[in-house]
Amino acid sequence: MSFCVKCGEDCEESLNGLCISCWLDGRKLTSAPHHVDLRVCTNCGEFNIGDRWIKKDLLVAVQDAAADSLAAIRDVRVVNIAMDVEVKDEYVYVVTMDSTCDVLGYEAHDESSTIVRIKNNVCRRCSRQLGNYYESILQIRTGSKDLSPELREETLAMVENSVARQAATNRSLFITKMELVTGGVDVYLSSMSLGKSLARELSDAYCAEFKESPKLVGQTTDGQDMYRLTYLVRLPEYHVGDIVIHNKRFCKLIRVSGNGGRVIDLMDFREKAVRRADMSEIRLYEKSSELREATVINRSGSEVQVLHPDNYSTVDLRIPEGYEPGDSVRVVTIDDVLYMVP
């Protein structure tokens, strides 16, 4: 037990010899600067908080900026801030903060205010993106002369999804631009590692090979060599659904993954696995989009009779066990013989 040197009252707690109420009397507990500048990117609308750029609602960003600028004196802890925001114009906000403070277990209140000024800026990512910055190029090609529009759309969708996924946690990752070139498409990317991860992803999805080649583009200010990396992904000509030749057998390709593929042999309808290392030996025979349809006119056991799509003669076709063909089946001609494609 001690007593207050000012009012003389006995008190359990004292600060500098004063009881809590004498200590609090007229004392300013919190303070805020006259103004705070809050930088906003005029391109993406994100706010600069500390050393990061973050997507926020404008009023939330204004209040957060004000709260961050609030300081409390020694022995005072701010436990809650009630905000009042007065909008002067779209760039100027007066924020009054009514703080609930804890002083040695006692609750006290104090009010401070600051002016939050919105400053237009361009964040680093946007300035790079707007300035066409890139560190790597992903070149998507096929073994043949051209990349088909379908395959192009499919691979670009994969690339865009992957970049969106990775950019969610790392905002320095982006696609600078995409360019259609003879034989395929070039995707310019903000980072080298992004180029590599996309090349790997595509090569896994299609069992394709990729090649990395560095290109010296200059030197940094401190004399380090500066490189850009080009990742060339050569997609195989075949695609899931196509008729391919594997080990001299005609097969339908039914799956491709990072581990290899699976095919169905058209002669006996058996499914087989193809190791990734052997995928490069697969040759395209006919694209699934070019397969013909034949009308089923009769079915019995493991055979159906169809009308030949070219000459309308009746042809017997073997079908897989337990297979129930519809009114038409897809067929392929191999050495003048028609085979059913399951």
Decide whether 105 or 322 has the Cβ nearer to Zn ion: 105
The CB-of-36 to Zn ion minimum distance in angstroms stands at 20
Which stretch, 108-116, 123-131, 203-211, 236-244, contacts Zn ion (CB under 5 A)?
123-131
Determine, following the binding rule CB under 5 A, whether residue 126 of this chain makes contact with Zn ion: yes
Nearer to Zn ion, 16 or 220 (CB): 16
Q: Which two tokens stand for residue 158?
A: 């994969």
DSSP three-state, residue 74: coil
The C-alpha atoms of residue 229 and residue 217 are separated, in whole angstroms, by 10
Q: Which of residues 229-288 bind Zn ion (CB under 5 A)?
A: none
Between CA 173 and CA 164 the distance in angstroms is 9
CB 135 within 8 A of CB 190: yes
Options 29, 41, 103, 244; binder of Zn ion; rule CB under 5 A: 41
> CA angle 301-305-306, nearest 5°?
140
If one asks whether residue 7 binds Zn ion (CB under 5 A), the answer comes out as yes
Residue whose C-alpha is closest to residue 286's, from 236, 329, 336, 239 = 239
Q: How far is the CB of 44 from Zn ion (least distance, A)?
A: 3
- Nearer Cβ to Zn ion, position 19 or 36? 19
Task: Write the secondary structure of 302-318 as one string of H (helix), E (strand) and C (coil).
Answer: CEEEEECCCCCCEEEEE
Residue 245 in contact with residue 282, Cβ under 8 Å? yes
The one segment of 44-52, 191-199, 264-272, 302-310 that binds Zn ion by CB under 5 A: 44-52
Asked if 43 touches Zn ion (CB under 5 A), the answer is yes
**Residues numbered 9-38 forming contacts with Zn ion, rule: CB under 5 A:** 19, 22
Query: Closest distance between Zn ion and the C-beta of residue 58, in Å?
Result: 15
Member of 6, 55, 255, 275 binding Zn ion (CB under 5 A): 6
- Fill in the DSSP letter of residue 281: G
Q: Which of 32, 40, 62, 123 binds Zn ion (CB under 5 A)?
A: 123
Determine if 173 is a binding residue for Zn ion (CB under 5 A). no
61 part of the interface to Zn ion, by CB under 5 A: no
Q: How far is the CB of 55 from Zn ion (least distance, A)?
A: 10
Is 291 in a helix, a strand, or coil?
coil
Report the helix count and the strand count for the chain, using DSSP H and E.
Answer: 5, 27
**Residue with Cβ nearer Zn ion (41 or 95):** 41
Q: What one-letter code names the amino acid at 38? A: L
- CB atoms < 10 A from the CB of 272, how many? 14
4 binds Zn ion (CB under 5 A): yes
Q: Nearest Cα to 281, choosing from 304, 251, 306? A: 251
Using CB under 5 A as the criterion, which residues of the chain lie in contact with Zn ion when the complex forms? 4, 6-7, 19, 22, 41, 43-44, 123, 126
